[in-house]
Amino acid sequence: MKLLKPTLSVIVLATVGFFGYKAFVKKSENEKEIVGSIRVEKEGTRLTELAPLAKITFADAAKAAEAAVPGSIVKGKLESEDHYLIYTFKIISPNKEWSEVSIDAGDAKVLEIEKGD
């Protein structure tokens, strides 16, 4: 019985440590963190609070995304990711390949292009 308590404690601590680590890891090793020009301190901020912070328009961001990945924009939105304000666009290419393009809401720079199915 004396051996059971320390063993159980080690298992509990290892489990909490593993799942605690997983909860705080945001990106996999293959993904880089987004770094934009407009910092948003609070994740989950409402769009009505985010929109006035953007320095470029949705239309300008869409043009930048289409220049980076030729095709048709299917969906676009303003959001905060990794505490930075970005526009995200889903684009389908003429050969039916999907991409997600992240554009900086401050200067229209392409921050990330993710290829999908």
Check which CATH number belongs to the domain holding 72 and give it.
Answer: 3.10.450.40
- Asked whether residue 70 is domain-assigned, the answer is yes
- Asked whether residue 62 is domain-assigned, the answer is yes
- Asked whether residue 12 is domain-assigned, the answer is no
Measured distance CA(5)–CA(64) in Å, rounded = 60
- Asked whether residue 16 is domain-assigned, the answer is no
| Size (the chain), residues | 117
In degrees and rounded to multiples of 5, residue 91 shows phi and psi of -125, 135
- Asked whether residue 73 is domain-assigned, the answer is yes
What is residue 30's predicted lDDT score, i.e. its pLDDT?
59
What is residue 92's predicted lDDT score, i.e. its pLDDT?
97
- Asked whether residue 19 is domain-assigned, the answer is no
Residue-wise pLDDT for 84-114, tens only, equals 999 999 999 999 999 999 999 999 999 999 9
Q: Which residue's entry shows tokens 């993710």?
A: 114
- Asked whether residue 9 is domain-assigned, the answer is no
Choose the most confident range, by mean pLDDT, from 18-22, 30-34, 46-50, 52-56: 52-56
What is residue 46's predicted lDDT score, i.e. its pLDDT?
81
Residue-wise pLDDT for 35-77, tens only, equals 999 999 876 678 788 899 999 999 999 999 999 999 999 999 9
CA-wise closest residue to 66 among 33, 92, 38: 92
How many structural domains are present in the chain? 1
Domain extent at residue 82: 32-116
